[in-house]
Structure 1
Amino acid sequence: MRILLLGANGQLASDILRLWRDQPGIDLLPATRAGADVTDLAAVRALVERTRPGVVINTTAFHNLPLCEQDPATAMTVNVVGGWNVATAAREAGAAVVQFSTDYVFDGEKRTPYLESDARRAVNIYGAAKIATEDAVRIANPDHLIVRVSGLYGLAGSAGKGGNFVETMLRLAREGQPIRVIADQVTAPTNTAHIAEALLPHLRDGLRGTVHLAADGETSWYDFARAIFELRGLSPDCQPTTAAEFGGPVRRPAYSVLGSERVPRLPHWRLGLERYLREKHGPLS
């Protein structure tokens, strides 16, 4: 299977590269923005025509939530137009497209895990952009797989967010600062390595449509932070706060846990965290 991977220097794509590179029958072609800007249809077409993949995976996104609120035009261009361009170029070349989406397409009013068939309703610009991206991809290329994920963290970190939540918590703990973490937003933080490992068999099996790949279980960001400190043997001054008290320019869904009616959920979020910490920082405390 010849696979073109867009956004190859990102957090999720880095784990796809790391874990798929030596898999039998997989010819993985990484491409960064320097190779083709997804907002440039001609450039994407040229890259796809040159590489002739059977599958194009689009991991690119404009996902810094405060910047999305400040600059919705860029959020829509990179996510929606970029997704349309990738799906279109793939269709024209006879290739399938895999587009990543987010738990933020849901409004958080539900209190049981969201399934693939649940109605979408975003509460922020990023979520609205990803709803539109999903629809654009479905229209542009019938041979598609849309993969919704949640709370990503991986070894490479997120360039657009300056790392990831785990590393931010560890840095604050080292600095000895009082830490306040939101306790009334519940999700399932997911190790990108587990997503990469689960996705490949689904691609080999020809899975299409929309699917949720997220960690099992659920937790608040505060309890996730406490687990990080516990596993690293740290005892910082970490206290819970609410989204209202914490403030900020972006509304987030209060509950965005993803379940699935199509595939098994990934390993439990705590197992994902333990794996990440071992791989990134060595033996657990």
Structure 2
Amino acid sequence: MNVLLLGANGQLGSDIVRLWDDPDVALAGATRADADVTDVAAVARLVREVRPDVVINTTAFHNLPVCEQDPETCFRVNVLGCWNVARASADAGAAIVQLSTDYVFDGTKGSAYVEDDARSAVNVYGAAKIATEDVVRIANPGALVVRVSGLYGLAGSAGKGGNFVETMLRLAREGNPIRVVGDQVTAPTNTAEIAEALLPLIREGVRGVVHLAASEGCSWHDFAAEIFRLADVAPPLEAVTTEEFGGPVKRPMYSVLRSTRGAELGHWRDGLARYMREKHGISR
């Protein structure tokens, strides 16, 4: 099986490249330098050259404050770009795997979201990803949409300047008081866990929508506290409300994902412990 991976240098893409080891899967990684997803001709040319059976699209414009300020760019990359990829895949007879997000939900359910729950975004990025899911499935009806949550990985996120774990460790080194929201609950997920769970879904030809996220949820404050516990540091850490923290972007207050169709990933604490071992050589 030939697989074309778009966004091969991102957090998730890098872990797919690093961890997939299947002699029956030939993986071709591509970055924006190979084809910008907003360039329909470049995308079509790349797909024709690689001749994949499956295209995995991990590309996204996900700097949330910038998305609020510049919705045109947000929609051009996330919606039009993914439409281009889905159409090129369909024209080549290839299946598509499109990554999506817990931000397609508004956070008012109060319990974990499953694949068939109604979508309703509270910010521009979430609205764009709802549209992304829809246009991809229109362009390529055999699509697999994989929703993920709170990603962090060894490669970091170029669009966000790293990831939450590394940001917390940097703030701890600086020695200043750290304020983290304690009333937003999500499921922070190590991209290595997603990469490993994604391969069997692709081999089995799963279609539709699947959630891949750490089991159980936590607040960002609880996640930060566990980062510091594993790193054996004790910076001044304060839990604040979303209202107290402020910021330009509204976010869902409870966006934990649960799957009725995909693999059950490990607990978020286990994913974090793995990250700390692999990134920093810390085992506790």
Shared fold (TM-score greater than 0.5)?
Answer: yes
1:48-70 residue CA offsets vs partner (Å, 9 max, x unmatched): 00110000000000000000000
Code of the aligned partner of 1:140: A
> Hey, what does 2:131 align to over in structure 1?
132
The separation in 1 between residues aligned to 2:282 and 2:105, in whole angstroms, is 37
The runs of 5 or more residues in structure 2 that have no matched partner are none
RMSD across aligned positions (CA): 0.7
**Contact residue 194 and residue 272 of structure 1 kept, 8 A:** yes
Instruction: Spell out the pairing of 1:47-62 with structure 2 (5 A cutoff).
Output: 47-62=46-61
Task: Flag structure 1 segments of 5+ consecutive residues without an equivalent.
Answer: none
Q: Match for residue 16 of structure 2?
A: 16
Q: Is the 8 A contact 1:95 1:143 kept in 2?
A: no
The normalised TM-score by structure 2 is 0.99
1:98 counterpart SS class: strand
- Give the TM-score normalised by structure 1: 0.99
Within-5 A mapping of 1:59-98: 59-98=58-97
Structure 1 moving runs of 4+ over 4 Å:
none
1:215 paired with 2:214, answer yes
Matching of residues 230-241 of structure 1 within 5 Å: 230-241=229-240
Preserved contact between residue 197 and residue 263 of structure 2 (Cα < 8 Å): no
Query: Aligned residue for 2:177?
Result: 178
Who is 1:278 aligned against?
277
> Conserved in 2, the CA contact under 8 Å of 1:115 and 1:260?
yes
**Cα deviation 1:143-190 (Å, max 9, x = unaligned):** 210000000000000000000000000000011011000000000000
C-alpha distance in structure 2 between counterparts of 1:145 and 1:56, whole Å: 10
Match of 1:163 in 2: 162
- Counterpart secondary structure, 1:45: helix
CA distance in 2, matches of 1:154, 1:195: 10
The one-letter amino acid of 1:12's match is L
Q: Which amino acid aligns with 2:281?
A: G
Q: Does 1:225 align with 2:219?
A: no
SS of 1:91's equivalent? helix
> What is the letter of the counterpart of residue 282 of structure 1?
G
Verify the 8 A CA contact 2:230 2:282 in the aligned structure 1. Answer: no
In the alignment, the residues of structure 2 paired with residue 122 and residue 250 of structure 1 have an alpha-carbon distance, to the nearest angstrom, of 12
Q: Name the aligned partner's letter for residue 189 of structure 1.
A: P
Residue 215 of structure 1 contacts residue 266 of structure 1 at CA under 8 Å; is this kept in 2? yes
Residues of 2 paired with 1:71 and 1:10: CA distance? Answer: 22
Distance in 1 separating the partners of 2:262 and 2:26: 25
Cross-structure match for 2:140: 141
Name 1:34's counterpart in structure 2.
33
What SS does the aligned partner of 2:167 have? helix
SS at match of 1:97: strand
Superposition deviation, residue 89 in structure 1 = 0.1
Letter in 2 for 1:37: D
Match of 1:253 in 2: 252
The separation in 1 between residues aligned to 2:172 and 2:218, in whole angstroms, is 20
- Aligned pair count reads 284
Whole-angstrom distance in 2 between the partners of 1:246 and 1:193:
30
CA contact (8 A) 2:180 2:220 kept: yes
d(CA) in 2 for partners of 1:117, 1:56 = 24
Report the AA paired with residue 132 of structure 1: A
CA distance in 1, matches of 2:252, 2:272: 22
Report the residue type matching 2:111 in the other structure: T
